[in-house]
């Protein structure tokens, strides 16, 4: 019984990741009949639809999110030096992050779309990341998490240079910067190695992985890069 349930959960995860992949590479979404079929065949699909319609936190069941939430967050959370966190970008699938993973630190969010403010933290700013320093002074955060933003709106060299530069300024000395991105051509509009402000960070071997870079087992090649100021 337990094995069968896990198989259904794994199959649902693969279906979600396939949809994310199509979005990442610019393919058209599923036709309506497939979405209707998923309502009755895909584990958790109907519940996610209902929760999103009710504007409730809706965790995303994908491998990269599981890595983030169950392997990366616990390491940061257990670090006594991390007392203030900025999470970049908001959505129904991030709304539970403050209460579930970072309840005991100063937690803030930044997101340019005002309609997504409902999913932000109690300390939330409506602005793009490249305007971060307009809202927070230098050395405000011990950890900045920028996941799924590069290649999804943060696309131009000048944008990235400004955004990462302001992250560097707003981090405390030895503060951590986590950059999550999809390593597929459509979502890598520029070479990260060429962004001047990103080069100001030093690469950090994350304890759980023993490396500064971790490629998740996803079709859209979601990658986590770990840096330290």
Average pLDDT value for residue range 33-56: 53
Which sign does the torsion angle of CA 62, 67, 68, 70 carry? Answer: positive
| Any domain includes 58 | no
Average pLDDT value for residue range 107-119: 96
More confident residue, 48 or 165: 165
Residues 42 and 145 in one domain: no
| Any domain includes 148 | yes
Is this prediction's pTM over 0.85?
Answer: yes
Query: What DSSP designation does 156 have?
Result: S
| Any domain includes 155 | yes
Report the CATH number at residue 174: 3.40.50.150
Residues 36 and 142 in one domain: no
Domain count along the chain: 2
Residues 186 and 78 in one domain: yes
Residues 33 and 85 in one domain: no
| Any domain includes 158 | yes
Percent of the chain with pLDDT over 90: 72
- For residues 154 and 149, give the distance between their C-alpha atoms in angstroms, rounded to a whole number: 6
Tell me the per-residue pLDDT of 58-110, one tens digit each, with 9 for 90 and over.
678 899 999 999 999 999 999 999 999 999 999 989 999 999 999 999 999 99
User: What range does the domain containing 121 cover?
Assistant: 63-228
Residues 155 and 196 in one domain: yes
Site of tokens 């999110």: 65
| Any domain includes 175 | yes
| pLDDT at res. 156 | 97
Residues 47 and 119 in one domain: no
Contact 66, 74 (CB under 8 A): no
Reported for 207-216, long-range contacts at CB under 8 A and 24+ positions apart, including other chains, are: 207/75, 208/71, 208/72, 208/75, 214/67, 215/183, 216/63, 216/64, 216/67
Beta bridge partners, 224, equal: 180, 214
């Amino acid at each position: 019984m337990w094995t069968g349930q896990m198989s259904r959960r794994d199959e649902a995860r693969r279906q979600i990741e396939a949809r994310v992949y199509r979005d990442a590479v610019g393919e058209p979404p599923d036709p309506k009949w497939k979405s209707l079929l998923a309502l009755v065949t895909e584990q958790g699909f109907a519940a996610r639809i209902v929760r999103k319609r009710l504007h409730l936190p809706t965790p995303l069941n994908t491998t990269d999110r599981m890595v983030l939430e169950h392997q990366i967050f616990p390491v940061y959370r257990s670090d006594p030096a991390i007392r203030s966190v900025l999470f970049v970008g908001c959505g129904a699938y991030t709304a539970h992050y403050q209460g579930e993973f970072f309840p005991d630190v100063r937690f803030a969010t930044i997101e340019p779309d005002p309609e997504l403010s409902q999913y932000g933290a109690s300390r939330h700013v409506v602005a793009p990341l490249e305007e971060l320093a307009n809202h927070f002074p230098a050395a405000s955060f011990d950890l900045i998490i920028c996941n799924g933003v590069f290649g999804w709106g943060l696309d131009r060299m000048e944008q990235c240079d400004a955004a990462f530069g302001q992250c560097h300024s707003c981090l405390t000395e030895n503060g951590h910067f986590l950059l999550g991105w999809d390593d597929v051509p459509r979502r890598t509009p520029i070479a990260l190695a060429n962004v001047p402000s990103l080069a100001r960070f030093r690469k950090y071997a994350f304890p759980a992985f023993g490396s500064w870079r971790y490629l998740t087992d996803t079709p859209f090649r979601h990658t986590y890069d770990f840096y330290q100021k």
